A = this chain, B = another copy of it.
Amino acid sequence: MISQKAKYALRALVALAKQPPGKPTFISEIAETQSIPKKFLEQILLDMKHHGLVASRRGKAGGYGLLRPADTISFGEVLRIIDGPIAPLPCLSKIAYRRCEDCKEEASCEVRRVFAQVADATRGVLDRTTIADALEARLPPRLRDAVA
Contacts and interface: CB of A to CB of B under 8 A. Distances in A.
Given A14-B111, A113-B134, A117-B140, A89 B125 contact: no
Contact of A125 (B11, B35, B110, B118): B118
B111 A134 contact: yes
Interface of A: 1-2, 7, 10-11, 14, 34-36, 75, 85, 87-90, 100-103, 108, 110-111, 113-115, 117-118, 121-122, 124-126, 129, 133-135, 137, 140-141
Please give the count of copies of this chain that the complex contains: 2
A118 B134 CA distance: 13
Contacts of A75: 114
17 contacts: A7-B102, A11-B103, A11-B110, A14-B110, A35-B102, A35-B103, A36-B102, A110-B134, A110-B135, A111-B134, A113-B137, A114-B125, A117-B140, A118-B122, A118-B126, A121-B122, A121-B124
A2 B35 contact: no
Contact of A1 (B34, B85, B102, B134): B85
Top 9 nearest A-B pairs (CB, nearest first) are A121-B121, A110-B134, A35-B102, A117-B125, A118-B125, A10-B111, A2-B88, A14-B110, A114-B129
Contacts of A115: 2
Contacts of A103: 11, 35
